Amino acid sequence: MKIVILSSGPALYSTRRLKEAGEQRDHEVRVINHMRCYMDITSKKPKMLYQGEPLGKVDAVVPRIGASRTFYGTAVVRQFEVMGTFVANDSQAISRSRDKLRSLQILAKQGLGLPITGFAHSTKDIDGLIDIVGGAPLVIKLLEGTQGIGVVLAETRSAAKSVIEAFRGLDANILVQEFVKEAGGADIRCFVVGNKVVAAMKRQGAPGEFRSNVHRGGSASVVKLSAEERKTAVQAAKAMGLIVAGVDILRSNRGPLIMEVNSSPGLEGIEKATEKDVAGQIIDLLEQNVGQQRRSRAEH
Ligand code: ADP
Ligand code: MG
């Protein structure tokens, strides 16, 4: 197969591992910077060009698009879809997952466990919003934050009000969420490929820190999932339309609660914590799907 990894960081662990895993399985793998792709979107001759040259036929694409490049990156992925290339993940699913509010609404519709979450526009409704999540302590989140930046724990109602007013004053959109204290500053990252969890780790926040993000000083260790956690993670990825996903779960008194679903989950933390070949599982998924695509095209 000809595989393209869309990434603006060829030296990143995830990019390097995907390339290596593809080559180990005798595929031709190219790492391409999506920001340097340009395209002919005309319907009769859709084409992708890279650094002045047509890209030629590609069988499968793995998008690894940073959160700040979602608009252009998903346009590039969509172009591959138009050309009939298999993509893991597709552009719509990536866009969907980048908006925390939209994601939670989609997951809620499927009846999946979520922390109680509220959303409002006007600062006149702050008291009502705080009541929805059962009062303080509560968590306030910027809609498009990542790596724990823009996630704030407000211990009291008055602190919550000031923070919400400040964010809204800057015209930032925020979610207000019940604080799941019993999670103890930890969360579970479930790495889903296709329709199974291929690896899972527990991330524990630094002492005194409620956010478990590795970027905020959290540390990772291997964890055994319950059957319910596995099922929840697979259902969450499916609801989002993602075939490669990092589903983050909080362990609460009322079972697993989904916090977010990531469409470009990093490989370094999970492979190092679990010693599993997650990159290889992603390449296997491409092989299965491209094989299936070829067979069904041959039949028609
Ligand atoms: P980001 O996209 O910035 O990673 P998250 O929603 O994943 O934002 O929140 C960052 C971290 O904060 C989580 O990994 C988790 O440890 C902690 N956290 C987030 N929401 C809650 C909550 N409702 N209750 C308890 N801890 C939370
Ligand atoms: Mg997170």
Q: Say yes or no: domain 2-89 is CATH 3.30.470.10.
A: no
Contact criterion met (CB below 8 Å) for 233 and 249: yes
The encoded tokens of residue 119 equal: 């959303």
Question: Residue 14: what pLDDT?
Answer: 98
Residue in this structure with the two tokens 């930046």, named with its chain if needed: 149
The encoded tokens of residue 39 equal: 């395209």
Q: Which residue intervals of the chain bear CATH 3.40.50.20? A: 2-89
pLDDT tens by residue, 28-48: 999 999 999 999 999 788 899
The distance from CA 22 to its chain's CA centroid, rounded to whole angstroms, is 22
Question: Residue 260: what pLDDT?
Answer: 93
Question: CB-based contacts of 54: which residues, under 8 Å, 6+ apart?
Answer: 47, 48
CA 166 / ligand 2 centre spacing (Å): 22
Mean pLDDT of 66-85: 94
**Does the structure show a pLDDT above 80 at 196?**
yes
Contact criterion met (CB below 8 Å) for 93 and 77: no
* 3 state SS of 167: helix
Tell me what the pLDDT averaged over the chain comes to: 95
- Checking DSSP bridges between strand 2-6 and strand 60-63, what pairing results, if any? parallel
Q: Which residue intervals of the chain bear CATH 3.30.470.20? A: 182-263
CA Rg value for the chain:
20
Strand runs (DSSP E) across the chain, as ranges?
2-6, 28-32, 37-40, 47-50, 53-54, 60-63, 86-87, 117-119, 138-142, 151-154, 174-178, 186-193, 196-204, 219-222, 244-252, 255-262
- Checking DSSP bridges between strand 86-87 and strand 138-142, what pairing results, if any? unpaired
pLDDT tens by residue, 207-266: 999 999 888 889 999 999 999 999 999 999 999 999 999 999 999 999 999 999 999 999
Q: How many CB atoms lie within 10 A of CB 92?
A: 14
Q: Which ligand is located closest to the Cα atom of residue 149?
A: 1
Whether residue 175 has its Cβ less than 6 Å from ligand 1: no
H helix intervals, 25-156? 70-82, 91-97, 100-109, 126-132
Of all residues in the chain, what percent carry a pLDDT higher than 70? 100
Question: Residue 249: what pLDDT?
Answer: 98
| Among the four given CATH numbers 3.50.4.10, 3.30.470.20, 3.40.50.2300, 3.40.50.620, the one describing domain 182-263 | 3.30.470.20
Q: Which residue intervals of the chain bear CATH 3.30.1490.20? A: 117-179
CA 171 / ligand 1 centre spacing (Å): 22
Contact criterion met (CB below 8 Å) for 192 and 245: yes
| Among the four given CATH numbers 2.40.30.10, 3.40.640.10, 3.40.50.720, 3.30.1490.20, the one describing domain 117-179 | 3.30.1490.20
Question: CB-based contacts of 138: which residues, under 8 Å, 6+ apart?
Answer: 130, 153, 154, 160, 176, 177, 178, 179
Q: How many CB atoms lie within 10 A of CB 139?
A: 21
Give the whole-angstrom CA distance, residue 232 versus residue 22.
Answer: 29
CA 90 / ligand 1 centre spacing (Å): 25
Give the residue, out of 107, 149, 151, with the most ligand 1 atoms within 8 A of its beta carbon, to mutate for a pocket test.
151
Of all residues in the chain, what percent carry a pLDDT higher than 90? 86
**Does the structure show a pLDDT above 90 at 86?**
yes
Please tell me the residue having the least CA distance from ligand 1 atom 18.
Answer: 211
CA 209 / ligand 2 centre spacing (Å): 14
Q: Is the pTM of this model over 0.85?
A: yes
Question: Residue 286: what pLDDT?
Answer: 98
